[in-house]
Amino acid sequence: MIKQAIIPLAGLGTRLLPLSSVIPKELLPINGKPGLQYILDECIEAGIKEIIFIISVKKKMIRDYFYNDKFYKDIIQTKKDIRIKKEYKKIRKYKKMIKFVYQNKPLGTGDAVIRTKRYIKDKYFLMLLPDDLIINKNCSKSMIKLSKKYDSSIMASMKINKKDVSRWGIYELSKKIDKNNSFIKSVIEKPSIKKAPSDRAVIGRYVLSKKIFSKLKKQKPGKGGEIHITDAIQSLIKDNEKFIAHNFSGRYLDCGSMEGYIHSTREISKL
């Protein structure tokens, strides 16, 4: 079973400025709870036991959120508030599961992932991009099940508007497995409309094989001068590594752009 997850959190979050100029975007509240906590709850419900955060010195506040024990203990002693006790218990539970690694220069998602290499123990691990919230159905849980069934790497997939392909990683699919799953023939980061092989986009949930690290070691910067995880994945696919695109059944909410963040807060408050 897959027991480890990694969460890249070292990006700049420029699309959420000015909010993200002092507060890491992953701590911004969505209906009274930091976005990151939704991601952690998804991991825990999917059976994950250890979570590796990739942060930067600038985003130290993320570590502080889980390491504020003295503050909580003092408050709980003076104020016998049950709600605070309950919240602190949750924070302690998360804290026990989290490890931190640092990426102080945001050189790209691929560069973030390689920093977790020494911690990954099993053949496969889960990666979640916290900008992508998926509600109503646990996407990670479905993907872990699928990975076990097919002994394969898995990536979440969603149909998008063809005119938006240049904002996403885009799949070229091969054989269909069933209604929601297909093998991936190739994947390309942010293609032009002309070059896009389909209208199926990569969404931020991945089950990756440990083999990705040897590809990342050799990965050269790609689009925008960044080291993209997508390019390393494409390189693995070229070596005949099995990858499945999973059309998840939950609802996707984009929390990485200002418009998306505002929309997500509204939608989650209706649940």
15 near ligand UTP, judged by CB under 6 A:
yes
The answer to whether residue 115 forms part of the interface with ligand UTP (CB under 6 A) is: no
Q: Which is nearer to ligand UTP, 109 or 209 (CB)?
A: 109
Query: Of 3 and 15, which CB lies nearer to ligand UTP in the complex structure?
Result: 15
Give dist(CA 152, CA 154) in Å, integer: 6
Q: What letter would DSSP give residue 102?
A: E
3-state helix, strand, coil in the chain (%, to 5): 40, 25, 30
**176: which strand partners?**
182
Q: Which of 34, 35, 130, 260 binds ligand UTP (CB under 6 A)?
A: 130
Report the C-alpha gap between 152 and 58 in whole angstroms. Answer: 36
Token pair 């919230």 is found at 133
Q: How far is the C-alpha of 128 from the C-alpha of 74, rounded, in Å?
A: 34
DSSP summary character for residue 199 = S
Q: Is 12 in the site for ligand UTP (CB under 6 A)?
A: yes
Interacting residues of 39 by C-beta distance below 8 A, sequence separation 6+? 7, 26, 128, 130, 133
Cβ at position 55, least distance to ligand UTP in Å = 8
Region from 8-16, 29-37, 42-50, 244-252 binding ligand UTP, contact rule CB under 6 A: 8-16
| Three-state secondary structure call for residue 191 | coil
The one among 37, 109, 230, 234 contacting ligand UTP by CB under 6 A:
109
By the rule CB under 6 A, 103 interacts with ligand UTP: yes
Report helix, strand or coil for 112. Answer: helix
Residue 219 DSSP class: P
Options 2, 6, 10, 62; binder of ligand UTP; rule CB under 6 A? 10
Rounded-to-integer distance, Cα 62 and Cα 36, Å: 9
Could you say whether residue 13 binds ligand UTP (CB under 6 A)?
yes
Question: Which part of the chain contacts ligand UTP (CB under 6 A), choosing from 101-109, 172-180, 193-201, 206-214?
Answer: 101-109
**Residue 233 within binding range of ligand UTP, rule CB under 6 A:** no
Indicate which single residue of 5, 54, 144, 255 sits in contact with ligand UTP (rule: CB under 6 A): 54
Q: Which residue has the tokens 């392909």?
A: 165
Is residue 152 a contact residue for ligand UTP (CB under 6 A)?
Answer: no
Tell whether residue 19 is a contact of ligand UTP (CB under 6 A). no
The residues that touch ligand UTP, with contacts defined as CB under 6 A, are: 8-15, 54, 103, 106-109, 111-112, 129-131, 256
